Amino acid sequence: MKGIKPLYLNNRSFQAAGIIVLIACLGYAVPFFETVARFLLLLLLVLLIVDMAMIFKARKGAQGQRFTPDKFSNGDENPIRIFVQSFYRFAVQMRVIDEVPKQFQMREAEFWLKLDGGETKTINYNLRPVKRGEYHFGKLNIFVKGPIGLVSRRFQFAEPVMVPVYPSFIQMRKYELLAISNNLTMQGIKKIRRLGHNMEFEQIKEYVPGDDFRTINWKATARKAQLMVNNYQDEKSQAVYSVIDKGRVMQMPFEGMSLLDYAINASLAISNIAMKKGDKAGLITFQHKLGTVLPASKRNKQMELIMETLYNQKTAYQESDFSRLYVNVQKRLSQRSLILLYTNFESMAALERQLPFLQALSKRHVLVVVFFRNTELKALLDSTPQTTKQIYHKTIAEKFDYEKRLIVKELRKYGIYSVLTSPQNLTIDTINKYLELKSRGLI
């Protein structure tokens, strides 16, 4: 971290010089002004030399350091901290400019501070990325201005650093902690009562101290003339696959983030919840051809594999091929699984083209189609039209909204479950559907 020491003249210096030049010009007409101009010019030079001496005398006048997380969470506020310290013996003003990654398009990432001699201050601010990938920070620039304020001295600290942006692990951890503490209802997740038990009968065995009295088998006890109990084993874990459509229908943005990235964030959270509930989590991506296939598992490193796989997803947003998805799912998934298919249908015509493949998938697996409301229509739907044009716009919006609800009914008619949700509620609504299906014993 090396400091660079160029000289910067402030606006105050240029203003003073301008006044002196103006008086000097008047000096050609009036000799008195020439004398005043020379005196002021001399005074300005003296102040400039004094200011430069005060600012540049200290070999190490300031210190700066930026702290960033090892990785950013996509779609979340990520904290950045900057420590600055003055080594001057007098009060100085500092202008701190952080060279943030170009993806944020922040041209005014600057902070003004006033520090007393030897004082240290901390700058805290947040950055919210909306795309996965590599984000490169540049230098940390500090401009120090002394008590006179005619010149500034620039220091540069913090070597350029790259911070990767991963799917929303902050959201994943939030729902994980709520699931562990059984406080998922705080985030709008419904508390669903389990139908029956989650244990499967294994055998009848002799009672030993510590066995549950409620499992006593009285008929077997009468036959054996000794206490006999039913022995149960944990229900086998089921496979839960997040199937993500990377086609053009997932390119639509919402609050700066594409539907694809919302689906990726939700897949990470639901995979983690499924594994906490004892199920196996897997991942499939597709567009015009099959993408990544990560077999369902509950091994220790599975969540790390899922996160890395989701981070590395690339797409050209081409037309999605559901027929190819169906063929590969039939070939690779031999066990009955829960398939959470993240896609988007804007009309009945779009659904009808893919419906035969969705029906075929639902025959062997529990299929849940997760698609999105068009949140841009909400303002039109809630408005009271005043003109013919506004009436026309609201009518079209109602038609699109009606088609979304019609798609849900059409899927239900063929035994296919669905989740129609807004992007900001995607994770909550998907977890609710997973818990509902699990409570009904369908997976």
Q: Is 167 exposed, middle or buried (0-12, 13-18, 19+ CB in 10 A)?
A: buried
Q: Is 165 exposed, middle or buried (0-12, 13-18, 19+ CB in 10 A)?
A: buried
Across 238-269, b (16+ Cβ under 10 Å) vs e yields: bbbbbbbbbbbbbebebeebbbbbbbbbbbbb
The CATH superfamily of 62-166 is: Immunoglobulins (2.60.40.10)
Q: Mean pLDDT, the chain, as a whole number?
A: 84
Alpha helices, DSSP H, located in 312-416? 322-332, 348-364, 378-382, 388-413
pTM: 0.79
Q: Which pLDDT score, from 0 to 100, does residue 202 have?
A: 60
pLDDT in tens, 97-111: 999 999 998 877 889
Strand-pair category, 199-206 with 228-234: antiparallel
- Residue 139 DSSP SS3: coil
In what side-by-side order are the strands of the sheet with 366-372? 290-297, 280-286, 239-245, 337-342, 366-372, 417-421
**What average pLDDT does the segment 108-130 reach?**
91
pLDDT in tens, 167-208: 999 999 888 766 655 555 545 555 444 434 455 556 788 888
Asked whether 263 and 250 are in contact (CB, 8 A), the reply is yes
One-letter amino acid at 422 equals S
Q: Give the best-scoring range by mean pLDDT among 51-65, 159-173, 374-388.
A: 159-173
User: Angle 10-114-106 (CA atoms, 0-180°, nearest 5)?
Assistant: 70
Confidence band for 96, pLDDT divided at 50, 70 and 90: very high
Q: Which pair of tokens denotes residue 94?
A: 């500092």
Q: Which pLDDT score, from 0 to 100, does residue 201 have?
A: 54
pLDDT in tens, 399-443: 888 999 999 999 999 999 999 999 999 998 999 899 888 877 777
Alpha-carbon distance of 372 to 370, in angstroms, equals 7
* pLDDT higher than threshold 50 for residue 85: yes
Residue 16's contacts (CB-CB under 8 Å, 6 or more residues apart) are: 40, 44, 150
Q: Which pLDDT score, from 0 to 100, does residue 6 have?
A: 55
Separation in Å, CA 191 to CA 124, 194, 408: 38, 9, 23
Strands (E), 158-274: 161-166, 199-206, 228-234, 239-245, 253-254, 257-258
Which is more confident, 194 or 54? Answer: 54
**What average pLDDT does the segment 247-270 reach?**
93
Q: Which pLDDT score, from 0 to 100, does residue 119 have?
A: 92
Q: Which pLDDT score, from 0 to 100, does residue 309 have?
A: 95
Alpha-carbon distance of 280 to 216, in angstroms, equals 32
**What average pLDDT does the segment 137-145 reach?**
92
For CA atoms 250, 313, 360, 195, give the dihedral sign: negative
Alpha-carbon distance of 351 to 359, in angstroms, equals 11
pLDDT in tens, 201-246: 567 888 888 777 778 888 888 888 888 888 765 556 789 999 999 9
DSSP string, 159-176: --EEEEEES-HHHHHHHH
CATH of region 169-193+236-439, choose from 3.40.367.20, 3.40.50.1000, 3.40.50.410, 3.40.430.10: 3.40.50.410
One-letter amino acid at 412 equals R
Compute the chain's Rg from CA coordinates. Answer: 33
Confidence band for 5, pLDDT divided at 50, 70 and 90: very low
Alpha-carbon distance of 185 to 150, in angstroms, equals 60
**What average pLDDT does the segment 117-127 reach?**
93
pLDDT in tens, 268-278: 999 999 998 88
**What average pLDDT does the segment 68-96 reach?**
93
Break the chain down into helix, strand, coil percent, rounded to 5: 40, 30, 30
* pLDDT higher than threshold 70 for residue 140: yes
Nearest Cα to 430, choosing from 374, 376, 371? Answer: 371
* pLDDT higher than threshold 70 for residue 28: no
Residue spans of the domains in the chain: they are 11-56, 62-166, 169-193+236-439, 200-234
Nearest Cα to 341, choosing from 331, 36, 360? Answer: 360
